[in-house]
Amino acid sequence: MNKKVCIVGLGYIGLPTAAVLADKGFLVHGVDVNEEAINLINNGEVHIYEPDLEKVVKKVVTAGKLSADIDPIKADVYILAVPTPFKEDHKPDLAYVESATKSIIPYIEPGNLIILESTSPIGTTDKIVELILNERTDLSIDEKSSSQIFVSHCPERVLPGKILKELIENDRIVGGINKMSTQKTAEFYESFVDGKVLQTNAKTAELSKLTENSYRDVNIAFANELSMICDDLDIDVWELIKLANHHPRVNILQPGPGVGGHCIAVDPWFIVDAAPEKSKLIHTARNVNDSKPIFVINKVKEAADKFKSATIACLGLSFKANIDDLRESPAIEIVKELSKESNYNILIAEPHISELPSSLNKLNVSLVSTEEAIKQANLIVLLVDHDYFKLIDNLDLQDKIVVDTRGITNNGTNKVASLT
Ligand code: SAJ
């Protein structure tokens, strides 16, 4: 297979996609603005942690199937995998999609396939077409034209921590700007995906991705709301959920310190922005999940008040278990807020990182081993359910107060609870 693929954005989605495609026989050219990442990749190394990723990158770079640069090249298929954050007012920020599109415009030729994988607000795929055709009057999207280009949205749906597996196994939704674009894109994904490739139009594909993440956000909000209700009523929320989930049609998710990452805490806002009057539930769920870190902070302060001098061990910084990804992590928000109290001695344990992120390294907090943090602290705040923390011996927690936001200590009650 000699098809050339150019992937713009070599982050958590773009790099694994590049590696998988190269491993499947495509000739892949990756593009990123981060020169340090480019140098690492060209050396067969990676700038992000994802299980097995470095192994595959090393293999395909050595085989000459993957290379990286700051500029795109001519290719048969272009994939845009750049971030789509929101601005201060929760409105979508399409600056990266626009600059990624502009970067490929000079290289596009008739017959090329352009795929937007970034999670995007409704209408973004059409905007990409507009940007391209404004600058390149020699190209067309007319299905009868010989200068036709094909443009589609195929949202990424992989779970951090399982990206390489899910890139191959998950079903994909493909929505083109017209029938031929949809078909061409479906053929492309069918050549390396084992899951089903489902065809629709661009707008529906855009909303389907936003819907999936909003569905999860609403369900996590339900669990988080229950945890706050249970705290008021002095009921163990973990036991409650376990019991309720014995019903054949009930499947409540797990409460936590809040919702983090760059997807679930962001994407529902794109629906709210598109239909503010009609998205009341989705909007409320966002507010419930965003309020959970404040609830946890208050619980920790309440517990710290019991000590003359509180040494607080914050266990976990990443936005979820068993990864090193700190983006939009509620744990960081909680640590930052606690560090404002000058009378707390704050120790952080995060087995997946070797140094504190820049947002924390000037604060009055220190990164230590899990064992050291537990030994020194009189108050333990469990923020992430890493497998590593599940090995903590409850005997080591004796005589300490534990605020367990993930319910992993034996009697995790999601509220100030002494385990003695
Ligand atoms: N969380 C809870 N309780 C739960 C489940 C999750 O508090 O029961 C929290 C996590 O701790 C984390 C956040 O929610 O802070 C999000 O974690 P997640 O595992 O639910 O999802 P992400 O953000 O890692 O990945 C999601 C996935 N979407 C869905 O499951 C619908 C993934 O498939 C998407 O590809 C990804 O968003 C994305 O890139 O959009």
Domain ranges of the chain: 4-195, 237-404
Q: What residues are paired with 345 via a beta bridge?
A: 311
Please give the CATH superfamily to which domain 237-404 belongs: NAD(P)-binding Rossmann-like Domain (3.40.50.720)
Q: Whose CA is nearest to atom 1 of ligand 1?
A: 259
DSSP letter string, 167-218: HHHS-EEEEESSHHHHHHHHHHHHTT-SS-EEEEEHHHHHHHHHHHHHHHHH
- Residue owning tokens 């990676």: 46
CA of 268 to the centre of ligand 1 (A): 12
- Cβ of 293 closer than 6 Å to ligand 1, yes or no, is no
Mutate to test the pocket of ligand 1, among 171, 224, 263, 269 (most ligand atoms within 8 A of CB): 263
Mutate to test the pocket of ligand 1, among 159, 169, 289, 333 (most ligand atoms within 8 A of CB): 159
Determine which helix (DSSP H) or strand (DSSP E) holds 238, and give its type and residue range.
helix 237-244
- Cβ of 386 closer than 6 Å to ligand 1, yes or no, is no
Quick one: which atom of ligand 1 is closest to the CA of 267?
40
CA of 304 to the centre of ligand 1 (A): 30
The backbone torsions φ and ψ at residue 346, rounded to the nearest 5 degrees and listed phi first, read -105, 125
Please give the CATH superfamily to which domain 4-195 belongs: NAD(P)-binding Rossmann-like Domain (3.40.50.720)
> In angstroms, rounded to a whole number, what is the distance separating the alpha carbons of residues 400 and 385?
19
> In angstroms, rounded to a whole number, what is the distance separating the alpha carbons of residues 143 and 161?
40
pLDDT in tens, 348-378: 999 999 999 999 988 989 999 999 999 999 9
pLDDT at 116: 98
pLDDT at 49: 86
- Cβ of 403 closer than 6 Å to ligand 1, yes or no, is no
pLDDT in tens, 309-356: 999 999 999 999 998 889 899 999 999 999 999 999 999 999 999 999
Same-fold call for 4-195 versus 237-404 = yes
CA of 326 to the centre of ligand 1 (A): 13
Helix, strand, coil percentages for the chain (3-state, nearest 5)? 40, 15, 45
- Cβ of 254 closer than 6 Å to ligand 1, yes or no, is yes
> In angstroms, rounded to a whole number, what is the distance separating the alpha carbons of residues 211 and 175?
15
Q: What is the pLDDT along the chain (420 residues), one digit of tens a residue?
A: 569 999 999 999 999 999 999 999 999 999 999 999 999 999 999 999 899 999 999 999 999 999 999 999 999 999 999 999 999 899 999 999 999 999 999 999 999 999 999 999 999 999 999 999 999 999 999 999 999 999 999 999 999 889 999 999 999 999 999 999 999 999 999 999 999 999 999 999 999 999 999 999 999 999 999 999 999 999 999 999 999 999 999 999 999 999 999 899 999 999 999 999 999 999 999 999 999 999 999 999 999 999 999 999 999 999 999 988 898 999 999 999 999 999 999 999 999 999 999 999 889 899 999 999 999 999 999 999 999 999 999 889 988 999 999 999 854 444 444 332
- Cβ of 220 closer than 6 Å to ligand 1, yes or no, is yes
Quick one: which atom of ligand 1 is closest to the CA of 157?
35
Query: CA 420 from chain center: how many Å?
Result: 37
Amino acid (1-letter code) at residue 366 = S
> In angstroms, rounded to a whole number, what is the distance separating the alpha carbons of residues 115 and 156?
11
Active site residues: 209, 263
